[in-house]
A and B are shown apart, each in its own frame.
Chain A
Amino acid sequence: MQSGQRLVIIGMGGVGGPAAMLAKRLMPEVDVTIIREEERFIVR
């Protein structure tokens, strides 16, 4: 992805949380947004 581009991730379970964290680490210049429906969802 190019600098300034927007990554949107839907869901924050096994996929969303790890994907968002690694995407931001590998591409700090990319805008990462994660959207989830549940008040709390992620399980370590």
Chain B
Amino acid sequence: MVAGVATVDSITNPDKMFTDGGINVIIDRVTKADGDQKTVTLSDGREIPYDKLLLGTGASPAVIPIEGHDLEGVFTLRSAPDAEKIRNFLEERKAKKLVLIGAGFTNLEVATLLCETKPDHYDVTVIEILGYPLPLMVDSDMGAQVQEHLVEKGFTMKMDQRVAKILGQNGVVSGVELASGETIEADMVLLAVGVRQNLELAKDLGLELGKFGIKVNKFLETSVPDVMAAGDCVEKYNLVTKKPVAGQLRGPAVIQGRLAAKRLAGYEIEFPGVLNNSAVRLFDKYIGSVGLTEEEARREGLEILCTTVTSRSKHGMIPGVKPWTLKLIFDKASHKVIGGQIVSDSVAPVKEIDTINALILGEKTIPELTTLMCAGNPDCSSEPSLEPITICAEQALQKLRT
């Protein structure tokens, strides 16, 4: 939407889809929720009674409390209205110099699409407090491939840099000053430095909260009877570490929403935890990740073993063959695969990240991965002899012996 690739109508579901299905849709702000009376109150004072309440209040973009964050032309992006505001600003101001604070996938994807729709128009600078792009998705060795590609595409990458303040003139953004003292000119600044859970109603209801949001059991039930919660506002558990995490991605939110409905209908299906599966396209690179990165695993105190293999998107003799790199992270004690990352020059291999996801869910080990047999075809997969999951596992097997 920001880049004009999609319209707001094309990415939003019409209310009619719900009302035609017999669902009541109310567009209003809930100002209060009462778990004893089992009512919610709307902004006009109307009380809506419930037998069961499901909170899906989501999260809002975090704003770093630095000077200039409230200047005109400084944006965060979370919802369709945010995208409309950014699009309007870009068009009205004919903005060219874009500064992205945060090198996560939201910022980088938006900048990619803007540059693709208006080649040679934008001058993009990316500022990241950590040492490489996509630091929550991949390790530095895989991130280096991404960084190199973005630099090839004309981005200025300011990694390992802290923002001191956002500069403005007449209330409008004009630049960003780094802690190093360097100043970067900006017509627009996009801030993507994480999110905070929307917990006002949860607090109103007296729900038990954790470090990362509303505490729920495996059936998404909160500490207050007949109140469930799901999605970004809920604290989740990392499936590998079993520790609480935020896990704020759309996939888990949708799965949790549907799981809550099934629970209310009488099913007893537990939410298994999250592995933070994610994928993004940045120009000609497709990046996917799942589970723990090497750096996360080390922070958790795990002794690990990593292997990286570069393979081919098609059999070598087929025209259009492209390289792709897979990195797998194994727990040295249990030999189980606990994470995976892919950087690919074509789209098909990136979805192998879901194979890694299934292997982690199945608690598969290095020896078991050496016998994985994938569907093979000259035009749409690596040769069986170059299938990188099995080769990564074989390399890990050899490392275990040394």
Contact = CB atoms under 8 A, between A and B. Distances in A.
B30 A23 contact: no
Interface string A1-23: 11001111111111111111111
B24 interface: yes
A20 B254 CA distance: 11
Given A8-B53, A14-B56, A44 B201 contact: no
Contacts, number: 163
Interface residues of B, number: 48
Contact of A34 (B8, B23, B201, B254): B23
Nearest to A13: B58
Instruction: Pick from A6, A19, A27 the residue with the most CB of B within 10 Å.
Output: A19
Please report whether the interface of chain B is mostly helix, strand, loop or mixed according to DSSP.
mixed
Contacts of A16: 54, 56, 257
B56 A19 contact: yes
Contacts of A15: 54, 56, 58, 230-231, 253-254, 256-257, 260
Contacts of B12: 40-44
B51 A19 contact: no
A16 B33 CA distance: 17
Contacts of B28: 35, 37
A-B pairs, 4 with minimum CB distance: A15-B56, A14-B253, A11-B56, A15-B231
A5 B56 contact: no
A32 B79 CA distance: 24
A14 B231 CA distance: 7
B21 A7 contact: no
Nearest to A33: B24
A1 B50 contact: no
Contacts of B49: 6
9 contacts: A5-B52, A8-B52, A10-B56, A12-B56, A13-B56, A14-B257, A24-B23, A34-B26, A43-B11
A23 B265 contact: yes
A5 B52 CA distance: 8
Interface string B1-36: 000000010011100001001111111111001000
